[in-house]
Structure 1
Amino acid sequence: MTARLVLATTNVGKVAELRDILTGLDVELLDAGAVDLPDVEETGETFAANAVLKATACAAAVGLPCVADDSGLAVDVLDGAPGVYSARYAGPQRDDDANLQLVLERTAGEEAPTARFVCAAALALPDGTVEVVEGIMEGTIVRPPRGTNGFGYDPIFQPRGHDLTSAEMAPADKHAISHRGKAFRTLRPRIAALLAGPSSQG
C-alpha cells in the first residue's frame, strides 16, 4: 500500500512547492483540503519548535504522517527579528506589505544589512516519531522593494551571490537556493525511509 503524507499547510503556493520537491516519492500527498487540519497556535520560540508543534498536532489529529514547516526572516541589525514573528511582525493582521515596510523602517540608514531566511521542516508520525531539519538562505536587505514573484519579504531580500531579489527570480531558480527548498530536500530521504515502515500507514 502506498503511504499517505499530509502537507500540513493551507498556503496553496507552499503546497505546490512541496509537491514539486517531493515528486517521485512513492507517497500519496494530501493537502489541507483532504483532511481536517487542527488550528495550532505557534507558541514556540524557534522555527523548529513551531514546525514540530504543527506537524505533531496534525499527525495526532488525522492519524497520518504529516509534514509542516515554520519559516521567516532574521535580520542581524535587528537582533534576529522578525524571526518567528515574521508573519505577524507589524500586527496580528498578517499583512505582508506592512511587515516588509516595518523591516525597512527599522533598518533605515543601514547599508545593505545582512539577513537570512530560515526554514525548519518537521515530519511527524502518529506513533510520535519526529524528524526536523533546517535550511538557510543568506542575503541582504535591499530597498526599494523589487519584484512581484514570491510573497512576504521576498521583494526586499537579495540572496547572497545574486543580483535579483527573491521576488524577481523565476520560481524554479528561487526554489533551487531557497531555505524551504534546502530544508525539504534534506527531509526528503528521511521521509522515504520513515514511511517505508508499517507505522506510516496510519
Structure 2
Amino acid sequence: MSTGVPAGARLVLATRNAGKLRELRELLRGRIEGLDVDTQVIDAAAAGVPDVPETGVTFEANSLLKARAVAEATGLAAIADDSGLAVDVLGGAPGIFSARWSGRHGDDAANLDLLLAQLSDIADEHRGAAFVCAAALALPGGHTVVERAELRGTLLTAPRGNGGFGYDPILRPEGYDRSCAELSPEEKNAISHRGQAFRALLPAIVAALA
C-alpha cells in the first residue's frame, strides 16, 4: 500500500471533487457493516495519488484507466468515473471531450456557448441528447467491474438555472419542464447519470468490501 494512504482507508474514489466523494459516502452509508464511510472512503487527494491522464477513447476506457491506476498505487479498491454529454445530431459528441469542447478544460461557459452556437439552427425535435457516465471499480488483484448509465433529455436553446455545473443549464431531462440546473440537488441525484451508474456498481462495491 502507498505510504500516503491514511491508516484504515478501504476505498479510494479517483477524484478531487468533494461533491463526488460526498455522494459516494452517502450511497455507501449504512450498507456495509463496520465501514466508516467518513474515514475509510477517501479521495485521490487524501491518498496522495496524482491525476491519471484520460487517454482512452470511451467513457468506459477512461474510468477503467483511472480506477486501475489508483488501485495499483494504493493497494486498495478504487472507483472512478468518466462522464459527459452526448448529442444525437453530433454523433455522440462532445462525449469524452465535453469538459474541453471549447479547447480550455473546465471552461463551462465557453463550452456551453460553443455547443449552443453549433446547434443554433437545429429544431427542437432534433435536439435530443444524454448525459452519460461510466463508473468503474478496480481491485488490487486486477478484477474490474464497469457500469454505464444515461440521463436522456432535450437540449434547450439557452441556459436556464443556477444549480449544477457543466452542461446542466441546457439539458431538460425527459419528463421534466426544467433544466438539470433548475432541479434541487435531491431531484438531480435521484435521476442523474452518475447516481445511476454508482447505484448499479453498488453490489460489486459491497461484495469487494464486505
TM-score, structure 1 normalization: 0.92
Aligned mates of 1:85, 1:162 — CA distance in 2: 26
Which shows bigger deviation, 98-107 or 11-20?
11-20
Q: Are 2:31 and 1:25 aligned?
A: yes
Deviation at residue 161 of structure 1 after TM alignment: 0.6
Residue identity in the other structure for 1:13: G
Correspondence list, 1:40-119, <5 A? 40-112=52-124, 113-119=127-133
Aligned residue among 51, 56, 69 for 1:39: 51
In structure 1, stretches of 5+ residues that fail to align are 197-202
Aligned to 1:162: 176
Q: Which runs of 4+ in 1 moved over 4 A?
A: none
Q: RMSD in angstroms over aligned alpha carbons?
A: 1.3
In structure 2, stretches of 5+ residues that fail to align are 1-7
Residue identity in the other structure for 2:43: D
Count of paired positions: 195
TM-score, structure 2 normalization: 0.89
Q: State whether residues 114 and 140 of structure 1, in contact with CA within 8 Å, keep that contact through their aligned partners in structure 2.
A: yes
Aligned mates of 1:19, 1:140 — CA distance in 2: 31
Q: State whether residues 69 and 122 of structure 1, in contact with CA within 8 Å, keep that contact through their aligned partners in structure 2.
A: yes
Aligned mates of 1:132, 1:3 — CA distance in 2: 22
Deviation at residue 110 of structure 1 after TM alignment: 1.1
Residue identity in the other structure for 2:58: T
Q: Are 2:18 and 1:12 aligned?
A: yes
Correspondence list, 1:133-152, <5 A? 133-152=147-166
Higher RCO structure (Cα 8 Å, ≥6 apart): 1
Aligned mates of 2:105, 2:146 — CA distance in 1: 28
What is the percentage of aligned positions where both structures have the same residue? 56
- Match of 2:181, SS? coil
